[in-house]
Amino acid sequence: MEATGNSCSEIAFRIGHASIANPMRSNEDYTKSRLSESGCLLALADGIGGAPFGEALSHVAVNSSLSYAMDHPIEDAFYLTHEKVIEFVDLLDSQGSGCSLILGCLDQASSALTLVWAGDAIAFLSREGRFNRLCEPFRIKGTNRLSNCLGAPQKFVPGFLELELRKGDRIMLCSDGVWDSLPNEALANVLEQPLSPPILAGMVVDKASRHSSDDCTALIVECE
């Protein structure tokens, strides 16, 4: 999928995303982008591994967060989404289920990207030949278990980041099936290729899926 946004501001963008499921189960990752009046909204979710209803809760998280973010500040939208996921966990009587979520708001007027996240879906930045992780996963040290996620009954403080974008930047949101399977160097090598975001996203998840038993999902934004 590719979406293009362009307004009177200096930053324009192209977006692509791709996902490959573990062949032994349904895909518990889900991602989507949505154009807004100020630019674009981005969301990527990943159901808790081994817990029931991961696929359903990822869809609830992504669709709810994008809907809420159209009318609320991004942090408020994130907390509202957390409450919505808790409602579904209670309705399904499935305590222990939940999902990771990273939610982004790209504002063309200010050339800014705001990210809010919980769990282990995270983001990277490719800029002028350098590749950096923008946020850290919420994992219990030394394990793959999450220290916070949407749907968990305990209160938590999500991660928050604001970044000024530049022309040529590439942002990648991805599930742990991607970043936990490939070193930064391998991810950077793909994102530096002179190809469109949909092709790059497909390349990333294809490469990651060869080394991972998890679902692999990536959403890539290119600033122009």
The pLDDT value recorded for residue 50 is 80
Q: Are 114 and 48 in contact (CB under 8 A)?
A: no
Could you give the percent of the chain with pLDDT greater than 70? 96
The pLDDT value recorded for residue 153 is 83
**Cα–Cα distance measured from residue 23 to residue 108, given in angstroms and rounded to the nearest whole number:** 38
Q: Which pair of tokens denotes residue 216? A: 């692999």
Per-residue HEC secondary structure of 125-137 comes to EEECCEEEECCCC
pTM: 0.94
SS3 141: coil
The pLDDT value recorded for residue 10 is 67
Burial code (b: 16+ CB inside 10 Å, e: under 16) for 109-124 equals eebbbbbbbbbbbbbb
One-letter amino acid for residue 132 of the chain? N
Q: Any idea how long the chain is?
A: 224
The pLDDT value recorded for residue 11 is 82
Triad 158, 163, 168: Cα angle to 5°? 135
- Please report the domains of the chain, with CATH numbers, ordered by start residue: 2-223 (3.60.40.10)
What average pLDDT score do residues 81-108 get?
95
Q: What is the largest CA-CA distance in the chain?
A: 48
Check pLDDT > 50 for residue 59. yes
Q: Give the pLDDT confidence of 123-170 residue by residue, as tens digits.
A: 999 999 999 999 999 999 989 899 999 998 877 899 999 999 999 999
* Tokens 């934004």 found at: 221
The pLDDT value recorded for residue 6 is 42
Q: Give the pLDDT confidence of 198-210 residue by residue, as tens digits.
A: 999 999 999 999 9
